Structure 1
Amino acid sequence: MRRYLPVFLALLIAVSAFAPAGAAQSNGGSETVACEFPLEVTDATGEQITLDERPESVVALQPSDAQTMFEIGAEDRLVGMPDNPATSDLELGNRTAVTDTYQLVPERVIDLDPDLVLAANATEKESIEQLRNAGLTVYHFETAESIDDVRSNVVTTGELTGECDGARATVDWMDRQLAVVDRVLESVDRPLAYYAMGDGYTAGSGTFIHEAMTTAGVENVADRADIQGYGQINPETVVDENPEWIIYPDDRSEPPIHQSVEATTAFQNDNVLAVNANQMSQPAPQIVYAIVDIVETVHPDAYEQASDDLDGTNESDTDPADGEPAESPIPGFGVVATLVALLAVVGFVSRRR
């Protein structure tokens, strides 16, 4: 991640301290997190999950499960997680790798005998049944179709693991950032963009990736083509729509587009953006980073305006290396607002190191 991004996020946190209360509410800020055990919940498979007490050992089956555990500050109880490029930003440490690259190895999970297993919706149901038949408690998440669903995943993970303070703080951080993004993009023109996933696949309506794109201020070609969910789009359709931007996950060296798409305005003008695949492709909190990255590239004036909202703020207010605030307070803030903003930055950034 580039060093300037944490600085911008720090600015967003502080700016949002002055946002109208309704702004965060409109982005899901009404979410509540309650940690009470015994806990009884029903998961996406209709299975009733009962936890008598806070789980002390947790296994994450998918990268998004692991990312959320780290984000809410529950990684100290994470004993197993995937080990592949999709978790390259997370520290495996002495945790057990429950995958051979992308292939889940259920036997490794069973050997760990964890108190709780988190399974994002991408997990095969056969694997879930194998783990349940071995006596493990497995929570299978619903498919994330929106940013609100990502928030719900965070809340649910917090409740299941008893890490409600961390879940609440993470959702609050997401809401604050997105409230500022919404505000600065309110009157901008929204260029047409094509999200290329490879082999002709793209993200259509009813996906959190589609909502991430529209939140970041672009119109989605797949939506115009009436693609629902993740599906293939005819390259001729892309050429006919002639998008101004091509966006793709950076887990490949070049945009995965059909040769004919090179005739579009986007490709001809080199309006091609690679976004962090681990942030854009996972229904987890770091989707906010990908949204901000798109805003910074596609809407540089709006991005700059968000920074200018804190006139006089020094980029050294937060050290990206350790999240520690600089000695001087942020100019123009009351003491309380300054402390709230800086504490939010410290708490959020430190969890990513």
Structure 2
Amino acid sequence: MKTWWNKSLVVVMIAALTVMLAACGGTAADNKTQDNNQAAEQTDHTTKPDSSEQSLKTTYPLTVKDATGEEFTFDKAPERIVSVSPAETESLFALGLDQEIVGVSDFDDYPQAATTKPKMGGITKPNEEAIIAANPDIVFTGISMKEDVVKKFRDLGISIFKVDPKSYDDVISNIELYGQITDRQQEAKDIVDNMKKVREDVQAAVKDAAEKKKVYVEFSPGWTVGKGEFMNELIEIAGAENIAATETGWININEENIIKSNPDVILYSAGLIDTETNKPLEELIKNRQGWDQITAVKDNHVIGVDSNLISRPGPRVADGLKEVAKAIYPDLVK
């Protein structure tokens, strides 16, 4: 308060002096007025917060909606957070919320700090007793949890916030929303700026490709993805054509259709073992009857990518995009 009074007094004195000098007239008075005005401007510049910094601070109470249309009002940034989705956990840690996160799903393994957090059960049906005991202000969940399960938790009095990203931009929007809810908007901006740059770099690299390659992706044994999901969009951003894009959503494959489509590149989840046969997914793909006639198999363009990077719609989906683009166009994307 004392600083404010002193600065106000200075401004008042300057204004009074300016009036007196203006009344006297003369070049000296004009010069003095200009100098004093500049001094006042400099004083204001050093004491006023930057407007861009102000815009990146969350104003509470904040009311937002999740993917189910549920409305949430936050009176302040949540201090106890549970995430039961690996993608959401990665996003929240990337925002610097390590201290606020008090529980994660059994499958959350990135970053390393997530492995030390109390476990809240599965990603489709979390442990309700563990979540209640964690006493969270908010629970974040993602694409794996069905809305009926979400409703069940809400009926128990648990505030559960669901997202359902279908595109690269949806992932960006979710990260921005988390930043707004938790008052980590600058951190969110840094993350999404990088994601946008990666996308721009990939698009620039593949725009002059001599041909649009046909791609088949198998993220789990016997399963691929069609249009309307972010994994399909990664292939499209990378300048290629997903052979399953004529269908929608997550698809149980038809092996004959894959042979007929004759993809130039096959992508699969690296290191994944089929639980039924105990064989690596790569081996299953290459040894399927008739698949040795597929161009991708004949030319040895069957390429493993980190499944977490292409299946988790969080900040590392940008890394997944780059891996996909490199696998499809290794000569163009470095």
TM bucket, shorter chain: 0.7 to 0.9
Quote the Cα distance in structure 1 between the aligned partners of 2:159 and 2:240. 41
What code does the residue aligned with 1:274 have? G
Cα pair distance change 1:267/1:152, threshold 3 Å = same
Q: Is residue 259–residue 291 contact of structure 2 (8 Å, CA) maintained in 1?
A: yes
Whether 1:204 aligns to 2:234 is no
List alignment gaps of at least 5 residues for structure 1.
1-31, 305-353
Q: Kindly state the Cα deviation for residue 102 of structure 1 after the two structures are TM-superposed.
A: 7.0
CA distance in 1, matches of 2:250, 2:271: 18
Q: Percent identity?
A: 26
Q: Specify the SS of the correspondent of 1:168.
A: helix
Paired residue type of 1:171? V
Residue of structure 1 equivalent to 2:20: none
Structure number with bigger Rg: 2
Shift of 1:201: 2.1
Residue in structure 2 matched with residue 69 of structure 1 by the alignment: 92
Instruction: Give the match for residue 350 of structure 1.
Output: none
Correspondent of 2:201 among 175, 180, 184: 180
The answer as to whether partners of 1:246 and 1:272 remain within 8 angstroms in 2 is yes
Contact 2:86 2:110 in 1 (8 A): no
Quick check: 1:219 aligned with 2:241? yes
Q: Which residue of 2 aligns with 1:339?
A: none
1-structure distance, mates of 2:242, 2:262: 12
Give the superposition deviation at 1:97: 0.7
Shift of 1:93: 5.0
CA drift of 1:140 comes to 1.4
User: Counterpart in 2 of 1:125?
Assistant: 147
Q: How does 1:13-28 map to 2 (within 5 A)?
A: none
2:98 aligned partner, one-letter code: E
Q: How far does residue 199 in structure 1 lie from its aligned partner after superposition?
A: 4.6
* 1:72 partner letter: L
- The yes-or-no answer on 1:254 pairing with 2:275 is no
TM-score (norm 1): 0.71
1:303 corresponds to: 333
- Say what the alpha-carbon RMSD is for the aligned residues: 2.1
CA–CA distance in structure 2, aligned partners of residues 261 and 198 of structure 1:
17
Q: Which protein, 1 or 2, shows the higher relative CO under an 8 Å CA cutoff with sep ≥ 6?
A: 1
Q: How does 1:1-353 map to 2 (within 5 A)?
A: 35-84=58-107, 87-92=109-114, 94-99=116-121, 103-141=125-163, 143-188=164-209, 189-223=211-245, 226-252=246-272, 253-255=280-282, 257=285, 258-304=288-334
The SS at the match of 1:76 is coil
Give the TM-score normalised by the residue count of structure 2: 0.75
**Which runs of 5 or more structure 2 residues have no equivalent in the other structure?**
1-54, 273-279
Distance 1:203 1:92 in 2: 28
Q: Which amino acid aligns with 2:195?
A: M
Instruction: Render the CA deviation track for 1:226-275: whole Å, top value 9, x for unaligned.
Output: 11111123211111111111001225133353433332111122111111
- 1:273-308 deviation per Cα after TM superposition (whole angstroms, max 9, x unaligned): 11111110011111111111122233222224xxxx
Kindly indicate whether the alpha-carbon contact (under 8 Å) linking 1:87 and 1:278 is maintained by their aligned counterparts in 2: no
Structure 1 consecutive aligned stretches of length 4 or more whose deviation exceeds 6 Å: none
> In 1, distance between residues paired with 2:239 and 2:194?
20
> Does the 8 Å contact 1:33/1:167 carry over to 2?
no
Shift of 1:183: 0.9
Deviations 1:176-228 (A, max 9, x none): 111111111111122111011335321111110011111123211112xx111
Q: Check conservation: 1:58, 1:116, Cα contact below 8 A.
A: yes
Task: Write the letter of the residue equivalent to 1:87.
Answer: D
Separation in 2, partners of 1:195, 1:94 = 33
3-state SS of 1:87 partner: coil
Question: AA paired with 1:240?
Answer: K
SS at match of 1:97: coil
Are the equivalent residues in 2 in contact too, given 1:199–1:232 (CA < 8 A)? no
CA apart distance, 1:33: 6.5
Mapped contact 1:49–1:138 kept (Cα < 8 A): no
What SS does the corresponding residue of 2:58 show, helix, strand or coil? coil
